[in-house]
Chain A
């Protein structure tokens, strides 16, 4: 089992790098879909539609919890 802090650090860095690459003016819903694409790819998980949510996917703690819940592999 990977410690929580490892996943948390990884998620924080991932979201930071993702935010840096973001193009301004994108629809927030589409932006959250782009984040979901990234999170699913990196952690090899499948999110539910409810979890593809702009507020949720902008929050490193929430994303860390999602990754843990879905058994993601860092």
Chain B
């Protein structure tokens, strides 16, 4: 895992000092090395977390004649198989890295190469001959990729803070981006919360040349029409799922030149991944868990039982409310966007434990809930659909009592409230029937917006996630439509980003997600809905497929979503200084997002209760205020230079402009063949950089 950045300009030569400043802001993503490439039109930067080919994989990296350069963040797990195929087709390799496979795959297959990758990536390819930049992002958005169009051209980077090194990129909040966040929990790509900053959509590539920037999808989530699913035998499906998942786990555990650990949450997803690693590899396994001081959130009992069963070397970190408050500003520095839950903060502390234990790669169970229908939201949708067939039926209304059994104030204990909450907008023809309650309750945040922002949003067009659903989705099973919405909104926008990549990379740790393997995702999408959500039994096929590896105590425990104390984290103990500063009337007025009066009321309420017993809506509203204010302070009002970090000496330093060779091609492979005592990266430097 790494950090990437770059500049392309058809008017001026990209400034190397700007590129180096951008690169410096990504050093936490890649503390093991850095490098750059520059010619008259493009500059590419890279910070490296060395995981595959730790000696030879320095970047940016080029093809044989130096005409195609790549800067790459991520992994192509099937690089070995692709490398064999490409060698057979005549390509010459200088390293054993997956990065070089990308270069040759691009030469061989062009834009079609991305469909062949099994991996998680954000990358940029610069073709010097064509003066063309290609950006690409993995299918589901595991790795981030942002860009901004400027008067000079385009800047891109793994994180927004690197783009803000360029003074031409405005530092302003985007009202529509905020509107999306306060509805869907995150922005929907290509939008971000910053005006003028875009993100490449998952499963897309973008091409920039003298004709401009064009984006297109190379993959989209898709489902068969209900009743047309190709595989309808549940027993066979369980076997096929197991086969695919075992291979996905093996690829992610074994394709690394450094040790790989695993997260163990206490739920079935990570229990499956760790059990598969133990069963199918001979390597000792180190597992890591997150625990909470507050028993309401703690899953330590299940974590320990699984670790003991598998005999792993197990470590955990116990997180208290004050721990969350203490690291929260740092967390927002990494999320770069408002969050409506405190849940990313403990993930930040968990990745710190991993790093302190000497690991920099972990396998996790992320993605199983979306791909195999684990969320309560899917159960909720099925209950609402059941109810919508006769909205006046008192019997059907009682189905809501089957939801959220883990909640202290569950629908079973508060049936009247449940009927009111889940019984709204029961329109079976609504393609977003599944998501209306969540979106409606999240939108309560917007009642606190400042008059100015509310007026601007009122004038803006509603943003159409539902309108963007594929025309064929009308024939999908309702579960498939709900999965599509999750795969398009919450997964890339929040779970893989604010709670995933950002919390891992903050401590220079790479996450690998077997449930997001394309073979697993495509297979699961084609399953009949009942294999995934069997009645109201979530992740049914997964439980069935791994019944022998995961104990019944974990398979049959009611789904407990990952949560952390929200309001309680900020109001239980001593108040953090920063909290008062960012929520002061002056700070609120400066940001212009929230009306200070209702915020003051909310804060007073939390103060009074010390955050205990705070309801879902108030928790969300509080976190929206705190995190948005922090985003404003850090990224809009604050000194952007605070993100600058001094870079060590680059391992790759190729500056064709300084050398005056920007118009020539260089046959690196021919010189490699002549024999050089230096490693390939060093040869690049020695050959092309006059100062080394």
Interface residues in chain A, defined as those with a beta carbon under 8 Å from any beta carbon in chain B: 17-18, 21, 23, 29-30, 33-38, 40-42, 46, 49, 52, 73
Minimum C-beta distance from B383 to chain A (A)? 7
Minimum C-beta distance from A27 to chain B (A)? 8
- The one of B227, B386, B537 in contact with A40, judged by C-beta atoms closer than 8 angstroms, is B386
Q: Find chain A residues with CB under 8 A from B398 CB.
A: 29-30, 33
Known contacts A33-B398, A46-B389, A49-B395: A38-B535 contact under CB 8 Å: yes
- Among A33, A35, A42, the most chain B Cβ lie within 10 Å of the Cβ of A33
In the complex, besides A37-B383, A38-B534, A49-B396, 4 extra interface pairs with C-beta distance below 8 angstroms are: A21-B556, A30-B402, A33-B402, A46-B389
A6 to B617, CA, bound (A): 49
Known contacts A30-B398, A30-B401, A49-B393: A36-B534 contact under CB 8 Å: no
Contact A23 B556 (CB under 8 A): yes
What is the chain B residue whose CB lies nearest that of A36? B386
Q: Find chain B residues with CB under 8 A from A18 CB.
A: 534-535, 537
Task: List the 9 shortest-distance A-B pairs measured between CB atoms, nearest first.
Answer: A38-B535, A49-B395, A21-B537, A46-B389, A37-B386, A33-B399, A52-B395, A37-B535, A42-B530
Q: B48 interface residue, CB < 8 Å from A?
A: no
Known contacts A29-B398, A34-B535, A41-B382: A23-B530 contact under CB 8 Å: no
What is the chain B residue whose CB lies nearest that of A18? B535
Contact A37 B536 (CB under 8 A): yes
What is the chain A residue whose CB lies nearest that of B226? A44
A73 to B226, CA, bound (A): 12
A35 to B227, CA, bound (A): 20
Q: B311 interface residue, CB < 8 Å from A?
A: no
Minimum C-beta distance from B552 to chain A (A)? 11
Q: B121 interface residue, CB < 8 Å from A?
A: no
A40 to B389, CA, bound (A): 10
What is the chain B residue whose CB lies nearest that of A32? B395
Known contacts A30-B401, A33-B398, A33-B402: A46-B390 contact under CB 8 Å: yes
Query: Can you list, as one digit per residue, whether each of B400-430 has a CB less than 8 Å from chain A (1) or not (0)?
Result: 0110000000001000000000000000000
Q: What does DSSP make chain B's interface, helix, strand, loop or mixed?
A: helix
- The one of A17, A34, A42, A73 in contact with B536, judged by C-beta atoms closer than 8 angstroms, is A34
Minimum C-beta distance from A41 to chain B (A)? 6
Q: Find chain B residues with CB under 8 A from A37 CB.
A: 382-383, 386, 399, 535-536
Q: Find chain A residues with CB under 8 A from B580 CB.
A: none
Q: Find chain B residues with CB under 8 A from A40 CB.
A: 386, 389
Minimum C-beta distance from B478 to chain A (A)? 9
Q: B156 interface residue, CB < 8 Å from A?
A: no
What is the chain A residue whose CB lies nearest that of B227? A73
What is the chain A residue whose CB lies nearest that of B386? A37
A1 to B402, CA, bound (A): 35
A18 to B540, CA, bound (A): 10
- The one of B383, B390, B412, B535 in contact with A35, judged by C-beta atoms closer than 8 angstroms, is B535
Tell me which residues from 453 to 472 in chain B have a Cβ below 8 Å from any Cβ of chain A. Answer: none
- Among B537, B540, B556, the most chain A Cβ lie within 10 Å of the Cβ of B537
Minimum C-beta distance from B690 to chain A (A)? 69
What is the chain A residue whose CB lies nearest that of B397? A33
Contact B558 A21 (CB under 8 A): no
Minimum C-beta distance from A16 to chain B (A)? 12
Query: Can you list, as one digit per residue, whether each of B525-550 has a CB less than 8 Å from chain A (1) or not (0)?
Result: 00001100011110010000000000
Q: Find chain A residues with CB under 8 A from B540 CB.
A: 21
A41 to B399, CA, bound (A): 14
A23 to B555, CA, bound (A): 12
Contact A41 B390 (CB under 8 A): no
A33 to B534, CA, bound (A): 14
What is the chain B residue whose CB lies nearest that of A24? B556
A15 to B379, CA, bound (A): 19
Q: Find chain A residues with CB under 8 A from B558 CB.
A: 23
A52 to B386, CA, bound (A): 12
Contact B402 A17 (CB under 8 A): no
A50 to B389, CA, bound (A): 15
Contact A41 B395 (CB under 8 A): no
What is the chain B residue whose CB lies nearest that of A38? B535
List, sorted by A's number, 25 A–B pairs whose CB atoms are closer than 8 Å: A17-B534, A18-B534, A21-B540, A21-B556, A30-B398, A30-B402, A30-B412, A33-B396, A33-B402, A34-B535, A34-B536, A36-B386, A37-B382, A37-B535, A38-B536, A41-B529, A41-B530, A41-B535, A46-B390, A49-B390, A49-B394, A49-B395, A49-B396, A52-B395, A52-B396
- Among B227, B390, B534, B540, the most chain A Cβ lie within 10 Å of the Cβ of B534
Contact B389 A34 (CB under 8 A): no
What is the chain A residue whose CB lies nearest that of B558? A23
A34 to B587, CA, bound (A): 50
A42 to B386, CA, bound (A): 12
A17 to B401, CA, bound (A): 22
Minimum C-beta distance from B285 to chain A (A)? 30
A37 to B390, CA, bound (A): 13
A30 to B412, CA, bound (A): 10
